[in-house]
Amino acid sequence: MYSTILIPTDGSEGADGAIDHAIDIATTYDAALHTLYVVDTDIGVDASITGMFDALEDVGQNAIDEVVSRAETAGVDQIEGAIGQGKPHRVILEYIDEHDVDLVVMGTHGRTGLDRYLIGSVTERVVRLSDTPVLTVPMRPDDAEEPS
């Protein structure tokens, strides 16, 4: 049923449960697992700041390495990791098309109201714009951040 599964990750606790689901589905269907971290180049960071994007890519590489390590431990045979740059939802949608992805598994942070309106939701945009099925996995209650 699924031969290529994508798990976009931002390295957050909200993505953690989605990683578990993606790995489980990949092992169940003997599917290739792809993981993608997107450096958001539209966040208003001055590109001339030395090392800013390099630092963000380092964070992304750590997030990808975590997914790869967990997938290898679970016995997933085919794993690919990539770092993209741009608007996250657009980069994810392009990756889906370019790699013939059958299923996308994404975490949700559970933002509502003004936070969701102001910050936006990458997962929500991918769900609305993707022709590929998207499994959304809510953040586990024990992973939720404490309100400030």
Instruction: Tell me the mean pLDDT in the region 97-115.
Output: 81
Q: What percent of the chain has pLDDT over 70?
A: 81
Q: At residue 64, what is the residue type?
A: I
Give the N- to C-terminal CA distance of the chain in Å, as an integer: 43
- The full set of domains in the chain, from first to last, is 4-141 (3.40.50.620)
pTM of the complete model? 0.86
Q: What is the tens place of the pLDDT at every residue in 32-62?
A: 999 999 998 876 656 556 577 788 889 999 9
Q: What is the tens place of the pLDDT at every residue in 118-146?
A: 445 898 899 999 999 999 998 766 655 54
